[in-house]
Amino acid sequence: MVMIYRCTLELHDSLYFATREIGRLYETEPVLHNYALCYALGFVDNERHSTTVSEEHSYRYFCPEQVPKYEAHLTPLNQQGIYVTPARAVHHTAVLNTWKYANNNYHVEMEKTQKNIPSFGRAKEIAPESQFECFIIVEKPLSPPKWIRLGKWMSKAEVRSEELPKLRQSEGEFTFPYPLNPLDVMFTHQVLSYDTVNMPPVSLIRNVRLRGHYYESEGFRIPARMQYRFAG
């Protein structure tokens, strides 16, 4: 038995993460990676190993080492029958913030200096009240958390979810306009065409035309049999 939840995420703070760096401009793409959503929704390192997610989900505010462990953290979700798609912006606005800092070489390297030359950078962030949409595919009922945190600033976002009705499975050629993780879909489907969204740690694809198994609900189609897979 498979259930699919459509989740709407509304920002209550500005959202920032560096999708790309162009000189001194750090830009946030209005797309949320499915790896980040798994952590934010509490599916990773949940000691209860349950599909019922509470607001007290396991959240790591401190990591002793800055080494991603996506494969180790996300592979167990395949056994639990949980999959989260990347999220696209339903509607959004951007804000541009400028920050400045002074030259502090004399603090770091004990260098003598007669100058205090300020430097600056700009961060393009996603504004509050912007909304994103993603899907959670599960084998057991769940209750997504009401509030989550996203991005570098741990920005607050409200989550609203609804289960897709009258779900059935079929096979054929179809188009999925939302973003997908190519590693998770290319082993089970024939991908015919797509647009690329360049972002770390794995670039995504969207407006995807593909052939294979899919779930359908009231004319909406989403790829079936997606699992977390990793290159190499």
pLDDT over 50 at 29, yes or no? yes
SS3 call for 78: helix
pLDDT tens readout for residues 83-121: 999 999 999 999 998 877 655 555 555 555 555 555 778
More confident call, 1 vs 36? 36
Compute the mean pLDDT over every residue in the chain, rounded to the nearest whole number: 87
Assess contact for 31 and 133: CB atoms under 8 A: no
Give, rounded to a whole angstrom, the gap between the first and last alpha carbons of the chain: 32
Mean pLDDT over 139-153 rounds to: 93
* Residue 205 pLDDT: 97
pLDDT tens readout for residues 32-83: 999 999 999 999 864 433 444 443 344 445 556 667 889 999 999 999 999 9
Q: Which of 27-36, 106-115, 166-175 has the least mean pLDDT?
A: 106-115
What percentage of the chain exceeds 70 in pLDDT? 82
What percentage of the chain exceeds 90 in pLDDT? 69
Assess contact for 203 and 197: CB atoms under 8 A: yes
Report angle CA 42, 43, 45 to the nearest 5 degrees: 85
* Residue 98 pLDDT: 84
pLDDT over 60 at 223, yes or no? yes
* Residue 10 pLDDT: 98
* Residue 56 pLDDT: 38
Residue-wise over 15-51: b if at least 16 C-beta within 10 A, else e?
A: bbbbbeeeeeebbbbbbbbbbbbbbbbbbbebeeeeb
* Residue 138 pLDDT: 97
* Residue 15 pLDDT: 95
Both structure tokens of 195: 């647009």
